[in-house]
Every structure is written in structure tokens, then in C-alpha cells.
Chain A
Amino acid sequence: MLATFVLQINKQLNHHLETNSKPFDMVIGAKGSPLQLVLSSILHIDNPTGNISLNEVLKIGKNPLVKEIIPVSYGDNYKGYRILGTSHSYLAAYDATLQEGEIYNKPFEAVVGNYAAKKLNLQTGHTFESSHGLTKNGLETHNEKPFKVTGILKPTGSIIDHLIITNLESIWHVHEHHEEHTHLEEKDEQREITSLLVKFRNPIAALQLSRFINKKTTMQAAFPKFEIERLMGFLGIGFRAINSIAIVILLAAGLNIFINLIKTIRERKQELALLRTYGANTFQLVKLVFIESLFLSLFGTILGWFLGRISIWFFSVFTEDAYGYHFVFDAPTSKELLLVGAVVLTTFIAAILASLSIFKLNVSKILADA
């Protein structure tokens, strides 16, 4: 059970991280931890590292090696679901299409990811008020400027399902309201975004550009693929540890099956002896023990597999709310089938060892000991 749980989580988590990060080659954001930047801007888990100037990053967009840039800006949420200000190309990057309604065009219009819409009970035409911060129960609510839902997105299986997406201006407007005394006039120069998602024409450009950004500017560039690999490397140690534990448990279980079989044979040796007097031969008795133990181990394996899947389901309910990751009830993978094979083989060996005692069954002695 433990092993199937870990195998599945590992596989599905990898899959999720990959789908979420695949569309972008590089993230540019404020200086700080590159992992944090990737986690916050792409996976929408952590807090952002800070803000960067829009003007400065737009210069990067002019670089001929850059295929596409998508600015993202965020800092608000509605009941725990992040409101992301970005261009329409963000949606295109994840192949997100509308299920109903229209795309946002004006400030304070928004489209809602499928899962978020369901959870928040939002439909096209509804309005909602954002609150400051990225987590639920933000202290401040921007209640002066409600957002209007113009459309709901189809489920994509990526992080976008858990986001509320609007344009950049909406985010700026929400925050300008608070800071209107300071910079109303100079807003064009002072425009800030949280990070810039970049797609390149070729990978060499990525290296050049990242070196430039990290050295010559106040910003940093991070590669999602690299950072996520690093993250999985950290997690991998944990997964491996749990897997080793699972293997030890499996071995212990094998030993347990063996001991139990011997115990069963000992307890039931009278019945086995009786069957011999009824005309059953040793081979038939061995067959009986084999069928019984294989049945038990298969039943146990299937039960374990289901328990593993049910645990994943519970785990999924938790991660779906917390991180927007959801783990599905998946068909057995080849690794899991291998696991089943290992269990059956263990039982088989245990049954062979245990049934050796059947050959030495002293029918007369067992039945005469009254």
C-alpha cells in the first residue's frame, strides 16, 4: 500500500509539475531565490520575490531571440484563489479555452479557472471583490472595485484551473487606489509587474540572456525546468526513503506470510492428515496450501492497492485545496504490477518452504494423539 502510494504520488506530482512549467522557458523576477520565483510565478505556491519594473522587462522582449513574453502580476486573491493579471497569451500558453462567456477585455473583467469556478460557485456575470494578499482571510478587501466574471475556462489539468485571470491593468488599478496620493501622474514609468514569463526561439539564447539579466540588472532569471528538477531532487530523497521503508515492510510481510503459513499448516495438520486418510495425496494437500496462500496474498495485494489509491484520494483533497494539485485514481502502472509480481513471488517461495512440512506429515501419529 505504502509503495503504491509513493509510486503514484511521485509519478503524478512529476506530471503536474511538468504540465505547469512546460509552457515557459524562463522566468524573470526580482532578485531572491530562483526556486521561490519559479514556485510563485509558475506553480503559484510560494510568495513572489518582489516586483520588477515593466519598462525594464519590456526591453528584454525586444531581444530578437525571445519568441514571446508574458508579463504576470498578482498579489490579490478571492477566497484563497489567486487573481493573476496577465495578457491573453498566458491562456494560449496553457491551451486554455473558454467553456462559457467571453475573454476579459477591460479592467475588472476576469475569467475563472474551471476548478476555482466550481469551488467558488462563480458563473458568468457574477461579481466578486478581491482581497489583498495571496491567501484566504486577507485583512484588506478591495471592496470599491468588484471584478466581473466574463467567462469560465474549460478544465486544462494545469494550474490555470485554480486561478482567476484578469488583465494587468486591473491589478494596477486595485493597488493604485490605495496609493493614489503618491503616484498618479508618473504611473506609466512606474508600472510594475511581479514577473515575466519568457519563451525562447532557441535554448542558447536562454543562457546568454539569463547571464546578462543576473549580472547587469537588478532582476534575476530562473529556468523552471531546472528549478523543478532541483525540487524533485530534494523530494526524491524523501520518496526514496519511503520506498526503502516500503521494501523493508514488503520483506517483513513476506516473512510474515511464511510464518503464518507454517502456523496454519501446524494448526491444521489434523485436517490435512484427515484428508490423507480420505484418499487425498500429498500433492493435493500441497496444492490446497498453495491455492489458499496465493488467494490470500492476491486478496491482500488488491486490498493494499485500493487502500493506497484511497489514501491518494484523501491526499488529493488536501493538496487540491492547498496547492491546486490533484491526484487521480489511476490504473495500475507497470511498476505497481511489478510490485504485485514481487508479492506473489514472495508468497510462492513462502508457500514452497512451508509446504515442505506437508511431505513429512505423520498421519498416524497426528490422528492417534487423542
Chain B
Amino acid sequence: MIRTTSLRFTYQNTRAHTFDFPDIDLSPEQNALILGPSGIGKTTLLHLMAGLLTPKKGNVFIDNTCIQKLTRSQLDNFRGEHIGLIFQRAYFIKSLTLLENLRMREKLSKKTTDPLRRKRLIEQLELTEVRNKKVHELSEGQRQRLSVALGIIHKPTVILADEPTSNLDDERCARVISLLKKEAQICKSNLVMITHDQRVKSHFQKHIIL
């Protein structure tokens, strides 16, 4: 469950850029797509929702917790537990293997680890064969799929995905979308996704256009 109220954000650089975002209110298990041209602040909105940025005005509520009222380290803990981020560009801990990256993610979420879930996710994302490889040995597509796994492994309340399908072919794109939707359902999470990808639009009913 995620709700935002009159969010405003200003970048503190040379040409001050102010964004005002429409309110978002998703009931449990409701998914949404964020659409809009580049530079309109889609990623900014996602980061505001994840608590990575502090809004100038307005609040973000996740499971009825106002994340703006948390202290810095409380917010870090909260984020680890409730939010799953999937980035536009995949980031990993380079010195660890695929499996170790996943376990690290689970450990930092401070939730009980679930080896069966981990194994199932790896299988569904076709990563079983490369699970003991270092992340730099993975292909671009494998990395993106690992990034998806890292976003959902810890059963977050909200899955925030930033163009997770941009590097995948049609077949895998469809599979990743359906996996994300299914996982969101299993974990009773909200799935919020930014995309440019025309292939994705038809999979979501709610579209938020900036």
C-alpha cells in the first residue's frame, strides 16, 4: 500500500528545476505504470517514493508509515524491509557472485531468509546455471534479470521498477512482466513501474501519466 500527497521536489543545481507530482494512491495489490516523456521526473518520483530523495513538500505513506517522519537510519532500515528497487541500469556488488548478491540483499532486509524462494526465483529467471558466477561474467540480459530478482527477493511491500525490461527480448520481457506481477500478487505488494516500453503498456490497467 503506497500513497503520496502533493509531492514537490526541487533540484538544487544551477537552473532550479521544480517538479510537482500528481498524487498516487494504490490499494493493496494494485499495480501502476508511470509514463511520460524523458526529463519529466519519472525517476525522481520513484526515488521520492523509495525515500532516496527528500521532497520539498508533501509526504509518502507506505503501509501507513509516513517515511518523511523517519530518521535517516530508520528510513534505511525501513527501505531495506519494505521497498524493492529495480534500477534502470543494473548495480551489484562486483566482488560477489549472483547467489551471494541475492543473499546479501536478503540479509540486509533483516527478514528471515527463504532458500526455497531464492531457488525458485533463480529458476524462473533462468539464472540457475550462472548462479555461482561473478556478476561481471553475466550477460546484459542476465544482469537485468538478476536485478529483478534483487528487487523482489525479500518480499517488499512496494516494488519500484525503473524500466526493468529495456534490455530484454520480447519473450523474456513478457516473462519478466508476468513474473513481477505474479510475485507482487504473492507478496501482496504494489508494483510501480516506469517504462517507455510499448510492449509493457497492455499488461497494466492503471497508468499514471506525468
Contacts and interface: CB of A to CB of B under 8 A. Distances in A.
B45 to A, nearest CB: 11
Given A364-B47, A364-B52, A281 B89 contact: no
Contact of A281 (B77, B83, B105): B77
A274 B135 CA distance: 14
Nearest to A279: B80
Contact of B91 (A281, A283, A364, A367): A367
Given A277-B79, A279-B79, A281-B76, A364 B53 contact: yes
Contact of B80 (A271, A273, A280, A370): A280
B50 A283 contact: no
B76 A276 contact: yes
A368 B53 CA distance: 11
A275 B92 CA distance: 9
Interface string A3-40: 00000000000000000000000000000000000000
A84 B149 CA distance: 83
A281 B72 contact: yes
A282 B73 contact: yes
Contacts of B85: 277
Nearest to B83: A277
Interface string B93-107: 110000000001100
B4 interface: no
A363 B79 CA distance: 13
B122 to A, nearest CB: 18
A195 B93 CA distance: 75
B192 to A, nearest CB: 15
- Counting contact residues on chain B (CB < 8 A from A), the size range is 20 to 34
B81 interface: yes
Interface in A94-153: none
Given A275-B108, A364-B47, A370-B89, A281 B52 contact: no
Given A364-B52, A364-B53, A270 B91 contact: yes
Nearest to B87: A367
A280 B76 contact: yes
B43 interface: yes
A364 B44 CA distance: 8
Interface string B165-179: 000000000000000
A369 B91 CA distance: 12
A234 interface: no
A363 B72 CA distance: 13
Contacts of A363: 52
Contacts of A271: 91-94
Contacts of A283: 73
Interface in A306-363: 363
B142 interface: no
A77 B52 CA distance: 83
Given A278-B108, A278-B109, A280-B80, A368 B72 contact: no
A140 B85 CA distance: 90
B108 A367 contact: no
Nearest to A285: B76
Nearest to B162: A368
Contacts of B78: 279
13 contacts: A271-B91, A274-B92, A274-B93, A277-B50, A278-B104, A279-B77, A279-B78, A279-B81, A279-B109, A280-B76, A280-B108, A281-B73, A283-B73
Interface of B: 43-44, 47, 50, 52-53, 72-73, 76-81, 83, 85, 87-89, 91-94, 104-105, 108-110
Given A274-B91, A368-B43, 8 more contacts: A271-B91, A275-B108, A279-B79, A279-B80, A279-B81, A283-B73, A364-B52, A368-B88
Closest 8 A/B residue pairs (Cβ): A279-B80, A281-B76, A281-B73, A364-B52, A278-B108, A364-B47, A370-B89, A279-B108
